[in-house]
């Protein structure tokens, strides 16, 4: 079956409507925190938010050396700009590390306006999930669900957050959550699906004016992790600028109508918003573009009682 080309145009690279230099997408005055920001997609997301004039960008990673290198590159590229860059070592799989991170931010009087959940655990890879040790399986869920949940909870409960201040929570998910079959990647795909489902449910609980929540598939990119498994010519890789710039668009009022939904960065945002059938389904079907059971529509509790 072909890829999920919901709009006539299927982008492989960035385009004007999601450009971080577009005035309506400005991040001026905002502090942005990016997990997994030391390299790959996370690093490119940091670059895009800098282009969007974010006041402060905080990149998080487990590896101190990678963080130091990324921080130096960002400061060099955007020297002379007003954006301040901060690097902080933290492990999303460790509750104490996540808690310590938010305590540090509070001690520095830093209020985060935009949280980009990009860090992920793609291991272990195994052809037979039931032959795995439970501890191995839960490593993926510990980061991709538990760590991301704790980051999100601390984000919305920041003591420095003024009453009524809208926040933006962006979940960098994966197309693997609806790839069937997907050999060797069951822990990764199911843990990412679980958290994307959780984000959709949380969006049901919290209005978009409180915290705007969007999950998206960033595409296939020749990252360090991909290079360890695939040859560069194995895929028709997407450009890093696509998910990076899409993140800026998703963290803006322009994307508010997709609150709680899962989309692909490849879909043209103008065509998406101009499609009357898509708009109708977003309005009438609470389960549309959310994690659920393929082939079945979402239903309400009231429907059971009827």
Question: Quick one: which of 93, 52, 65 has its CA closest to 241?
Answer: 52
* pLDDT band at 1; cut points 50, 70, 90: very low
The mean predicted confidence, pLDDT, of the chain is: 95
Tell me, yes or no, if the pTM score tops 0.85.
yes
Give kind and range of the element (H or E) at residue 85: strand 84-89
Cβ neighbours of residue 65 closer than 8 Å, sequence gap 6 or more: none
Give kind and range of the element (H or E) at residue 115: strand 114-117
* pLDDT band at 287; cut points 50, 70, 90: very high
**CA-to-CA dists, residue 272 to 5, 6, 7, 278, 281, angstroms:** 11, 8, 6, 7, 12
Catalytic entry in 17, 152, 173, 215: 173
Counting every residue written for the chain, the total comes to: 306
What confidence score (pLDDT) does residue 2 get?
58
Catalytic entry in 51, 152, 168, 188: 188
Contacts by 221-225 with C-beta closer than 8 Å and gap 24+? 221/40, 221/41, 223/39, 223/40, 223/41, 224/39, 224/40, 225/40, 225/122
Helix (H, G, I), strand (E, B) or coil at 211: strand
Cβ neighbours of residue 294 closer than 8 Å, sequence gap 6 or more: 178
181, pLDDT greater than 70: yes
CA atoms of 254 and 10, how far apart (whole Å): 20
pLDDT in tens, 117-136: 999 998 888 889 999 999 99
233, pLDDT greater than 60: yes
Q: Any catalytic annotation for residue 173?
A: yes
CA atoms of 205 and 124, how far apart (whole Å): 33
What does the DSSP 8-state code read for residue 171?
E
Q: Any catalytic annotation for residue 273?
A: no
CATH entry 3.40.50.720 includes domain 16-305: yes
Catalytic entry in 30, 51, 192, 290: 192
The residues pairing with 61 across neighbouring beta strands, listed in sequence order, are 89
Q: 218 with 174: CB under 8 angstroms?
A: yes
């Amino acid at each position: 079956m072909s890829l999920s080309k919901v709009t006539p145009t299927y982008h492989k690279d960035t385009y004007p409507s999601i450009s971080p230099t577009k005035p309506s997408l400005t991040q001026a005055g905002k502090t942005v925190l990016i997990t997994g920001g030391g390299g790959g997609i996370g690093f490119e997301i940091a670059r895009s938010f800098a282009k969007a004039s974010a006041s402060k960008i905080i990149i998080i990673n487990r590896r101190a050396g990678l963080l130091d290198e990324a921080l130096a590159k960002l400061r060099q590229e955007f020297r002379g700009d007003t954006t301040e860059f901060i690097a902080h070592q933290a492990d999303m799989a460790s509750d104490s590390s996540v808690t310590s991170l938010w305590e540090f931010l509070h001690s520095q009087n830093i209020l985060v306006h935009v949280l980009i959940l990009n860090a992920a655990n793609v291991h272990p890879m195994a052809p037979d999930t039931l032959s795995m040790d439970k501890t191995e399986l839960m490593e993926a869920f510990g980061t991709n669900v538990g760590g991301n949940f704790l980051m999100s909870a601390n984000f919305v409960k920041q003591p420095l957050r003024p009453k009524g201040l809208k926040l933006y929570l962006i979940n960098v998910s994966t197309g693997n959550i609806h790839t069937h079959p997907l050999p060797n990647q069951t822990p990764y795909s199911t843990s990412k699906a679980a958290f994307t489902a959780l984000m959709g449910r949380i969006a049901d609980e919290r209005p978009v004016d409180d915290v705007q929540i969007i999950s998206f598939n960033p595409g296939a990119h020749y990252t360090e992790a991909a290079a360890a498994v695939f040859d560069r010519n194995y895929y028709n890789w997407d450009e890093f600028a696509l998910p990076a710039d899409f993140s800026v668009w998703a963290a803006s009022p322009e994307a508010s109508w997709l609150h709680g939904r899962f989309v692909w960065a490849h879909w043209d945002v103008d065509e998406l918003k101009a499609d009357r059938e898509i708009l109708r389904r977003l309005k009438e079907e609470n389960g549309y573009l959310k994690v659920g059971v393929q082939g079945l529509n979402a239903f309400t509790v009231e429907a059971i009682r009827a």
